[in-house]
Chain A
Amino acid sequence: MIYASQSLGDLWVWLLERLAEFCGWLGIPEVIRYSVEKGAYAIGLLVFISLTALVLIYMERKVSAHMQLRYGPMWTGGWHGWSQTIADMIKLLLKEDVIPDKADRWVHRVAPIVVFVPSLLGFLVIPFDKHLIGADLNVGILIIFGFSSIAVLSIFMGGWASNNKYTLLGGLRSAAQMISYELPLVLSVLGVIMTVGSLKMSDIVMAQKDVWFLFTPNFLGFIIYIIAGTAEVNRTPFDIPEAESELVSGYNTEYSGLKYGFFMLSEFTNTFIISAIAATFFMGGWNGPSWLPGIVSFLGKTYLIVFLLMWFRWTFPRFRVDRLMDFGWKFLLPLSFFNILMIAVWVLVKK
């Protein structure tokens, strides 16, 4: 039986059990049932991602506006311009798709596809609620980092294929920056993995039942993670790749229409994924007060981190490119080595 107080994860498990019973009754093979189940989850995620992107773009505008004592979008749709991003999406869909004559047409076309696929795959192992996870893989976090590395490729593809000096420079800078900050990013979560002793997302969340890792020596890892994560999604103060005052809009200058839309979408999706991992690894994921459904506390924490990233944007000035690389390689990387050592000592002493 389901009650309103139960979590979304329980509801999902209940639905799956009914589906399994039904399939057993019809004599449908297990493989097909499993595929349908995961397919339904993936389509649900796509709907969720689209809605999240709409909310995040609206939020970005409103947060930016209010931090600069402006209103932001106010008229579209009536109440505080709530439908502004929907109107923008329709505009992007209907807009002419211009491919420059000199561009490498096929690479130019494929890049938006390559950029979006990894960002959906990142959602596969994010635990929204107790049982609400695409697949609780035993490599968990590693698969997110693996797929997010593909995003570097697509950004460079977009920049290179346009055959434009701005986009090439934007793509190169973006690739250099993303690979440089991937190292501290990957190393900063190692502390949590050492504390838990598992790569599985569900184990990591369960380990934080009593105390969030944010309030343990893993705090340093959290700081490194947030800084490297901001750089990984190319947000200010690390937005050298799209520094509009020098590179127009970086690697996606020559894109228009829905292809640009996919770059935009995956940018916000990646911001959400980075925040969601921060919430899972350092802030206890769906753990929360018992009267609150798990998904609400998970999304609350995630949006808190998203807000933090937006706050950064209007607080810190942009890094210069050489300082950006110096900061990543000469400060963050040694610091994350130190973090691993510190956590190792802490785990040993605690034991």
Chain B
Amino acid sequence: MNDYLAVFIFVVIALGFTAAGLITAYLVRTSRPSLKKCETYECGEEPVGGAWIQFNMRYYVFALLFVVFDVEAVFLFPWAVVFRSFGAAAFVELLVFLGILLAGLIYAWKKNALKWE
């Protein structure tokens, strides 16, 4: 039997559980919305403007860096599985690969991409 069927069944049951929980809560809870209650919370102050505004550029830089390094980390997984059987040859390849990764990290570092302001 395909084991990934289990993943699918788990997704369905998790969705069912959350949906059932939220529907139960919808049935038993009170609901008396008022103008003041549904206002955006800002410690009692009247909020000025919305929150959907421009935010710090740094977040994009880190997101991009993450994508680069995470994909490379995923490439390391199949390598790690076969490492024991390949031995020294795999080790040399690791040095090359990690060297490129480290060069990328040092480049980002020198370019001040890792600096949080």
Residues on A facing B (Cβ under 8 Å): 30-31, 34-35, 38-39, 42-43, 46, 93-103, 109, 112-113, 116-117, 120-121, 124, 134-138, 142-143, 160, 162-168, 172, 175-176, 179-180, 182-183, 186-187, 190, 193-195, 197-199, 248, 253-254, 257-259, 261-262, 321-322, 325-326, 329-330, 333-334, 337, 340-341, 344-345, 347-348, 351
- Residues of chain A lying within 8 A (CB to CB) of residue B80: 190, 193-194
Q: Is the interface of A mostly helix, strand, loop or mixed?
A: helix
- A124 touching B7 by the CB < 8 A rule? yes
Chain B residue at smallest Cβ distance from A146: B74
- B85 touching A117 by the CB < 8 A rule? no
- A163 touching B77 by the CB < 8 A rule? no
Chain A residue at smallest Cβ distance from B62: A176
- A96 touching B28 by the CB < 8 A rule? no
User: Would you list the 9 A-B pairs with minimal beta carbon distance, nearest first?
Assistant: A322-B116, A135-B6, A258-B25, A120-B14, A179-B66, A42-B13, A197-B84, A117-B14, A193-B80
- Residues of chain A lying within 8 A (CB to CB) of residue B10: 38, 42, 120-121, 124, 134
Q: B residues 1-34 with Cβ under 8 Å of A? A: 1, 3-7, 9-11, 13-15, 17-19, 21-22, 24-26, 28-33
Residues on B facing A (Cβ under 8 Å): 1, 3-7, 9-11, 13-15, 17-19, 21-22, 24-26, 28-33, 37-43, 47, 50-52, 55-56, 58-59, 62-63, 65-66, 69-70, 73-74, 76-77, 80-85, 87-88, 91, 94-95, 98, 101-102, 105, 109, 114-117
A-B contact pairs, 14 of them (CB 8 A): A101-B38, A101-B39, A113-B19, A121-B11, A134-B10, A164-B40, A165-B42, A175-B63, A187-B73, A258-B25, A326-B114, A330-B114, A341-B95, A348-B91
Cβ-neighbour of A112 out of B22, B43, B82, B105 (below 8 A): B22
Chain A residue at smallest Cβ distance from B108: A329
> Other CB < 8 Å A-B pairs besides A113-B18, A117-B18, 14 of them?
A30-B1, A38-B6, A39-B13, A93-B24, A101-B38, A113-B15, A120-B17, A138-B3, A176-B58, A180-B66, A197-B83, A197-B84, A248-B43, A258-B21
- B40 touching A100 by the CB < 8 A rule? yes
- Residues of chain B lying within 8 A (CB to CB) of residue A172: 55-56, 59
Most buried by B among A112, A134, A135, A168: A135
> Given A112-B18, A163-B52, are A198 and B41 neighbors across the interface (CB < 8 Å)?
no
- A135 touching B3 by the CB < 8 A rule? yes
How far apart are the CA atoms of A168 and B70 in the complex, in Å?
A: 24
- A187 touching B76 by the CB < 8 A rule? yes
How far apart are the CA atoms of A2 and B53 in the complex, in Å?
A: 63
- A190 touching B76 by the CB < 8 A rule? yes
- Residues of chain B lying within 8 A (CB to CB) of residue A334: 102, 105
> Given A199-B81, A258-B22, A322-B117, are A98 and B38 neighbors across the interface (CB < 8 Å)?
yes
